[in-house]
Amino acid sequence: MAVYLLIHGSFQGGWTWKPTARLLRRAGHDVYAPTLEGCAERAAGLRPGISVTTCAGELAGFLFNEDLESVVLVGTSSGGLVVEKLAVLAPGRIGRLVFVDALVPQPGQQVRDIVERPAGAPPYESTSLARGPGREQLASGLFADFEPALKHWALERATLHPLGLSEPEPGELDAFWERAWEATLIRCRQSRNPPLSHQRATAERLGARWLEIESGHYPMLTDPEETARLLQV
């Protein structure tokens, strides 16, 4: 059986993996779905200095202290940034990488260069430390395809995302591309972001296995059975 470490994306916490994690555990796997610092139930700990590197460092310490090896490291959306950094910090503990509709910037790329926002889209809410869409923006945008009960559940848990996790510093993730990784990329066919062109470029450079799922940007919530199946491929 495998060990899975599931990394959430923006405006989320470990809660976003709950339906899929339940199925993976039922199949006999060990599954961890931590919440990154400053997010979800850890939002009260939002502080200056939270970054992709600090969160990846915390997770590297977790892997060490739990003696976890051959880990299937999974990232979705902006969680792909943390996967890039964590893989570099703890390469001996990672068995395989899986990017689920994830942002995986290459050297010289910034998240703002990848994500396509519709013209005229309202600006996100923001503070000095975090930003994100408001409740109505989520309901009619990122969560628009959710069933009513799931939408309500997710809206009650969504939080603004720490700025340092939304846009890494120049060069912060470059070391990821200096070595080879065993990787899988799962594209969500109904999702606008990250664009198909970005995911194709990621898969090509990594030599990653390419899989697709007929879902929006949050398949771990809307299609947990298929998501769990693909994570075990």
Active site residues: 77
Listed residue (46, 39, 52) closest to 13, CA to CA: 39
- Which tokens in the block code for residue 117? 């926002």
CB atoms within 10 A of CB 71: 22
**Peptide bond between residue 123 and the one before it cis (omega within 30 degrees of 0):** no
Q: Order of strands across the sheet with 130-132?
A: 125-126, 130-132, 161-162
Task: Using the Cα atoms of residue 97, residue 188, residue 103 and residue 38 in order, give the sign of their dihedral.
Answer: negative
- As to burial, measured by CB atoms within 10 angstroms (0-12 exposed, 13-18 middle, 19+ buried), residue 174 is middle
The tokens describing 151, both together, are 């939408």
- Of 66, 8, 61, 4, which is closest to residue 30 (Cα–Cα)? 4
Angular region, 207: left φ>0, alpha ψ -120 to 50, beta rest:
left
CA distance 210 to 68: 26
